Amino acid sequence: MATAASASPGGPGAKTAARGPSPRPTSAFARLSTRRAPAPTGSRLRASLHLGGAGAAISSISNAAAAAGSNGSGLAVPPAIAPLALPKMAGARGTHKNVLLFYCEEMRDLAQQVVARNDDIELRSISWRTFADGFPNLFISNAHSIRGRHVAFLASFSSPSVIFEQLSIIYALPKLFISSFTLILPFFPTGTSERMEDEGDIATAFTLARILSNIPISRGGPSSLVIFDIHALQERFYFGDSVLPCFESGIPLLKSRLQELPDSHNITIAFPDDGAWKRFYKQLQHFPMVVCNKVREGEQRIVRIKEGDPRGRHVVIVDDLVQSGGTLIECQKVLAAHGAAKVSAYATHGIFPNNSWEKFQPDNGEGPEHGLSHFWLTDSCPLTVKAVKDRRPFEILSLAGPIASALQI
C-alpha cells in the first residue's frame, strides 16, 4: 500500500499522513445522491456543444447537478436545453448585407442603376482631381464613417491612363478598417494578352492579375473580385491566393432577352470560333448551335461553318468581346449565305476602338445580308454605351442586376 504524503501549511516540519487508502480527489461539482441521473454521456455532451458551445455544455452539466433531488424523490431532473440562435451569415437566404458602393466617374450611371436595384446598397462618391503635374489628387469623404462597413468599388479600366488613379483608391479602401472589400471590374481589359507566342512577348493579363492579387486585406479577410466573362478560361488561375475572384457571366441576360422575342422558338446560337464555343456552350446547350472557324487561303483568313445548319433560323452570334468586328461581320455574311432568316449578335464587352461600331448596320427587315437584326451589349464598357446609345441595331443589357446580386454574396 503506497503512502500518501500531503503538504501541511506548517512547511518542512509537517507530519506525514498515516498509511491507508489514498483519498479520492474532491469533485469539481457537489456530491450527488447515489440514485442521481448519470452525467451527460459523450453523445449528449457533443449535442450540447453543437447547440450552444462548450460554455453551454458545462452550464447544463452544472444545472443538472444542482437540480439533483429537487423533485423530492432524490432523482435528478435534467433541465430543458433551449437551442441558442445561430448567427446569420451575410449573403445567406433571408439576410441582407448593407454595402457602400464607390465608383469611378465612367461608371456613375451603372452605379446608380445598381443602387436602384437593391435598397441595401448605398452610393458613395470620391473626389477625383488632379495636381498641376497631372498626377491624381484623390479624396474619400467621411472616411471615418465607413469603418466596420462592407465596401465595394465599381471600376472601369478602359485605358491605361485611368488605371493608376483607380488602383490608388482600390488599395486605400481596405485599409480604412472596413468589414470587407469587393472590387467589381466588369471587363478585364488585358484578357486577350494571355499567352506568349514568341520569346519576349509579355502576357499583360498575368501582370494585371498579379496587381489585383495584392489588394490589401480588410478586417474581414481577403478582398473579393467580380469579373464578367473573362476572355480565356485559364486566366482565373493567374490570380493569387490573397484575393477571391468571382467569375460571373452576362449570358443569363441574353437568355432572358431571347425569351422576349416573337421568334424565340426559332433561335440558333452561332459561335465565331472554337474559343467562344468552349466558353459558352454549356450555358446555351438547349439551343441548336452553329460553330464557325477561320481557315487560311493564301494570305487571307476566311470564316467558314464548321458544323450546324442556320437555314431558316434566327441566328445569334455569341462571343465574349468585340473589337474591330471584322470576324463577326464575316461570320454574319457566311450565315446569310447559308440561308439564315435573321442574324443578330451578342458580346458581353463592346470595346470598338476607333469607333469600329460604325461598321454594324441594322438590316431594316431586308434580310441578314444587309445587316443585323439586333446587336446586344452589356454596359461593361461605359464609353461604348454612350457612343451607341439609341443607335440601331445596338441594345444595352445592363449588368446592374447581376452586380447587385454579387454584392450580397
The string over 196-234, giving b where at least 16 C-beta atoms fall within 10 Å of a residue's C-beta and e elsewhere, is eeeeeeeeebbebbeebbebeebeeebbbbbbbbbbbee
User: Cell 485611368 belongs to which residue?
Assistant: 162
Tell the residue number behind the cell numbers 461539482, with chain if given: 29
pLDDT band at 215 (very low <50, low <70, confident <90, very high): very high
pLDDT at 86: 40
Range with the poorest average pLDDT among 284-288, 289-293, 297-301, 321-325: 297-301
Residues 153 and 107 in one domain: yes
What radius of gyration do the chain's Cα atoms show?
33
Looking at the structure, tell me whether residues 173 and 293 fall in a common domain. Answer: no
126 lies in the same domain as 217: yes
pLDDT tier for residue 268 given thresholds of 50, 70 and 90: very high
Q: What is the Cα–Cα distance from 167 to 216, expressed in whole angstroms?
A: 11
Instruction: Give the per-residue pLDDT at 232.
Output: 82
Which residue range is the domain that position 343 belongs to? 251-378
Distance CA 201, CA 220 (A): 38
pLDDT at 76: 52
Task: Tell me the three cell numbers of residue 396.
Answer: 444595352
In a domain, 260, yes or no: yes
- Cell reading at 85: 440562435
What's the rounded Cα separation, in Å, for the pair 381 and 356? 14
Residue 160: give its domain's CATH number: 3.40.50.2020
Residues 221 and 284 reside in one and the same domain: no
What does the pLDDT average to over 156-161? 93
Q: Phi, psi at residue 297, to the nearest 5°?
A: -125, 100
Within this chain, do residues 317 and 305 fall inside the same structural domain, yes or no? Answer: yes
Identify whether residues 210 and 263 lie together within a single domain: no
Position 297 scores a pLDDT of: 74
| Nine-digit cell string for 269 | 446560337
Residue 215 within any structural domain of the chain: yes
> How do 314-322 and 99-103 pair as beta strands?
unpaired
Tell me, what DSSP letter sits at residue 119? T
pLDDT, tens digit (0-9, with 9 covering 90-100), for 298-336? 777 789 999 999 999 999 999 999 999 999 999 999 999
Q: 162: how many CB neighbours lie within 10 A of its CB?
A: 17
Q: Could you tell me if 157 and 188 lie in one domain? A: yes
- pLDDT tens for each residue of 13-48: 444 444 444 444 444 444 444 444 455 554 444 444
Full-model pTM: 0.76
Establish if 224 belongs to a structural domain: yes
Domain total of the chain: 2
* pLDDT of res. 305: 95
Q: In this structure, is residue 167 part of a structural domain?
A: yes
